[in-house]
A and B are shown apart, each in its own frame.
Chain A
Amino acid sequence: MSMNSQGRPSAIPAASGTDAVTGTFTGNRGLQIEEPLIFEQDSAGRCGVDLPEAPKVASRLGGVKPRAKVGLPGLAEPQVVRHYTRLSQKNYAIDSGLYPLGSCTMKHNPRLNEKMARLPGFADVHPLQPESTVQGALELMDTLAHWLKTLTGMAAVTLAPAAGAHGEMCGIMAIRSAHEAKGDTGRTKILVPESAHGTNPATAAACGYTVESIPATADGRVDLDALKAKLGPDVAGLMLTNPNTCGLFEREILAIAEAVHGAGAYFYCDGANFNAIVGRVRPADLGIDVMHINLHKTFSTPHGGGGPGSGPVVFAESLAPYVPVPYVVHGADGFQLVETAGEGPAFGRMKAFHGQMGMFTRALSYMLSHGADGLWQASGDAVLNANYVMARLQDVMTASFEGPCMHECLFDDRFLKGTGVTTLDIAKALIDEGFHPMTMYFPLVVHGALLIEPTETESKAGLDQFIDALRSLAERAKSGDVAYFQGAPRLTPRRRLDETAAARKPVLRWVPPVPAEALAAE
């Protein structure tokens, strides 16, 4: 086995069912570089910059001295640049290929958005600047708020929440404020369907509610009778995702809303899947009282590490009085931020300032460049793509529910029964084919879930390649080639990791190796 300079195995070991790859002298595989940790590249005394000797000055730290060396590695600038460039090349992103992670809406981020977000008038403003100097930025927020209210049919919006889960918290806090304002303090429960995102019950619990789960029917939707049975004077609200995490539209949503309102509760919608219906269905028309919107999913702002989050929340008339500050209004001297709730019933603010300007700019850029017709087409194409994937895989994999899906299609592991191959194995083998895996084992309502969301980003040719790769894997699994799957992935910088050991005994700190002389002395 080849080792890198730090003694870690680097070559791809031979596994049954595949050709062994010959090890190289360096451990590199072509341009796939076997990169040591930056601390392993430390060379004492090496420095990327030539600094003049610090002048001798009297310490004013009151005798405080460093206890030990800080331990930063010494590297030259090109080493550092190469290190991080090589690490970035190991990353997989929507910019490098199809990213079918269900429930995450990994869509293309148009570069126009980036250009707009970098305009100095939006990028270089400070939240404490006088309002008269940021009228353009405030107008942008006002215009974005207008679009979000128009697309959802809602009466009010707050742009402040930092991300989707923060938006959920904002919505549930508004619901609690509304009950409290009515003197209705006996409501201690929030109802959440089984297929919900984990953040829903977490939000309800964080807001002090107990969570009761609502079972799904055989067709993957909320069991209306079970919901009605749980509704009562102790229920504060329902948190529902529509389309739900099975990729299905909740057909009985009007009856659900009526039942929730009939019990004196409020209806929260998790807007994570708004991408499937934007421009086609207005959540307010479905009886929803409050909903968060993930700008990074529906309106193409960057995901995760690509930028700060943003989770605006829209409110129907029923909860509009509880919208938190700050928000933009048209004043006598132009746009103004309302910073205090005054005597109103609102619960205050979600954040120190008004939210993420860069994300507002990107989201509005996406909306304006697409136009109403473009947003309408994007949601339609997202649904069409998901149905195309489902239709072309249905004969070799097992779709969990009958009929068309919305923006994502859900399979379970019945097609793997008796093969010895698991959902996880399929995902690992898919990495060797050059794709990021789909979402696995979620939602929990089906066994061994494989949830695929292609988004509107992909062309038919791109989808066909992905589908053909999955078809070949499904057929290979059924042919009995278990060893191939259990050995996957083979072509990655590291083979299959021991996820159990990583979770049970995580190694969180790098420890310098024992010097060779010390080992020899033993």
Chain B
Amino acid sequence: MTVKYTKDHEWVRVEGDVGTVGVSDFAQHQLGDVVFVELPDVGRTLEKGKEAAVVESVKAASDVFSPVSGEVIEVNHDLENEPARVNTGAQTEGWFFKLRLSNPSELDGLMDEAAYKAFVEESN
């Protein structure tokens, strides 16, 4: 099981050919209190780097981009009623959606935990 990160602060945790996607703990800190999450429809085909979801906080609305390509197989409906889960558990209960990877080699271009940490420190 590996967790990879994008420069846009999404994470993807891969188990077999299924990736679980969310925003990083750093991202939720930057956003502040999340008040709304718009999730993709199950069955939708997502492209790496394209808009997949929307997250809205008291400060701003931001697009969430899919870290990898694939078909959405499940979304976290809990976020619709309790968007605060993104703040309390960005990388656990605050996951956004799961997708079946269509091109697992895309993972090679993403950062691992250590590289992401260095990236955040550098950009801060």
Chain A contacts to B: CB under 8 angstroms: 198, 210, 441-442, 444, 499-500, 503-504
Contacts and interface: CB of A to CB of B under 8 A. Distances in A.
A385 B37 CA distance: 40
Contacts of A444: 60
A504 B36 CA distance: 7
Nearest to B82: A504
B35 interface: yes
A333 B123 CA distance: 67
- Chain A to chain B: the 3 pairs with minimum beta-carbon distance, closest first: A503-B35, A500-B33, A441-B59
Interface string B23-66: 00000000001011000000000000010000010111100000
Interface string B56-93: 10111100000000000000000000011000000000
A444 B8 CA distance: 14
Given A441-B60, A442-B60, A444-B60, 5 more contacts: A500-B35, A500-B58, A503-B35, A504-B35, A504-B83
Contacts of B58: 499-500, 503
Give the size range of B's interface with the partner: 10 to 19
A190 to B, nearest CB: 14
B30 to A, nearest CB: 9
A199 to B, nearest CB: 13
B12 to A, nearest CB: 21
Interface of B: 33, 35-36, 50, 56, 58-61, 83-84
Nearest to A444: B60
18 contacts: A198-B61, A210-B50, A441-B59, A441-B60, A442-B60, A444-B60, A499-B33, A499-B58, A500-B33, A500-B35, A500-B58, A503-B35, A503-B36, A503-B56, A503-B58, A504-B35, A504-B83, A504-B84
B55 to A, nearest CB: 13
Contacts of B36: 503
Nearest to B58: A499
Contacts of A499: 33, 58
A76 B108 CA distance: 73
Contacts of B61: 198
A503 B58 CA distance: 8
A336 B21 CA distance: 59
Nearest to A422: B32
B121 to A, nearest CB: 15
A444 B57 CA distance: 13
Contacts of A503: 35-36, 56, 58
A204 to B, nearest CB: 12
B35, B60, B83: most-surrounded residue (chain A CB, <10 A): B35
Contacts of B60: 441-442, 444
B101 to A, nearest CB: 22
A441 B60 CA distance: 8
A367 B59 CA distance: 37
Contacts of B35: 500, 503-504
Contacts of A198: 61
A444 to B, nearest CB: 6
Nearest to A448: B59
A452 to B, nearest CB: 18
Nearest to B36: A503
B79 to A, nearest CB: 12
Nearest to B81: A504
A442 B36 CA distance: 19
Contacts of B50: 210
A210 B60 CA distance: 21
A235 B87 CA distance: 37
A445 to B, nearest CB: 12
B63 to A, nearest CB: 9
B50 to A, nearest CB: 8
Contacts of B56: 503
A500 B60 CA distance: 12
Nearest to B33: A500
Nearest to A198: B61
B50, B59, B61: most-surrounded residue (chain A CB, <10 A): B59
Nearest to B83: A504
Nearest to B124: A447
A444 B60 CA distance: 8
B124 to A, nearest CB: 9
A442 B59 CA distance: 9
B17 to A, nearest CB: 27
A500 B61 CA distance: 14
B100 to A, nearest CB: 23
A504 B33 CA distance: 10
